[in-house]
Amino acid sequence: MLVVDRDNDRLYEIGGAEPQADGSWQAHCGAVFHADSNAVRPTAQPGWTSADAAGLPIFPGLVRYDEARLGPGGIRHALRFTVARTRRAFVPPATHYASANTSANLPPMGMRVRLKAGYQIPAGFSPEVKAILTAMQTHGMFVADNGSNWFVSGAPDDRWDNDTLVGQLAQVKGSNFEVVEMRGLVTQV
């Protein structure tokens, strides 16, 4: 559950939120982010998680239709993505890892990648997919959670054409990306 408090510049993210029979809610975790600052959560310590396995805020990394519909250049921020397997490590500003595997062949949480500059975005792709791919080339993406490989998270919106998104984005391969940020690797907390 994501709640944006625009009046107080706060972002509340709650993981595993489920309504209970008595009207109350139960959740696995929660975090408060200050939207009026670029600083990591004021109280976050290495090892702390959030509703996102990397300990990062989810909302800023989501692909949103209102940005994507503007076409290339409409999305002006990095995107979050998931991978099936990560290692027991994170790269700041991530604050958490979600794996016991120490293999250096697996990505750490928070690892930043970018669609290679030489990748030619196909002219026949939809404006929304072109916007997503342009953001991947310009601002990159970061490993935010475990899940399907190369899965980019988006805000739900009935205006998305999911078949087009899946079909066109599936044509972009992992080899079309390069790692751009691995400074400050943390393996122990």
pTM of the full structure: 0.88
Provide the pLDDT for residue 45. Answer: 65
Exposure b/e, 98-137, CB count within 10 A at least 16 = b: bbeeeeeebbbbbbbbbbeeebebeeebbebbbbbbbbbb
Residues 73 and 163: beta-carbon distance below 8 Å: no
Q: Looking at per-residue confidence, does 188 or 152 come out higher?
A: 152
Percent of the chain with pLDDT over 90: 77
> Closest Cα partner for 175 from 107, 119, 128, 108?
119
pLDDT over 60 at 55, yes or no = yes
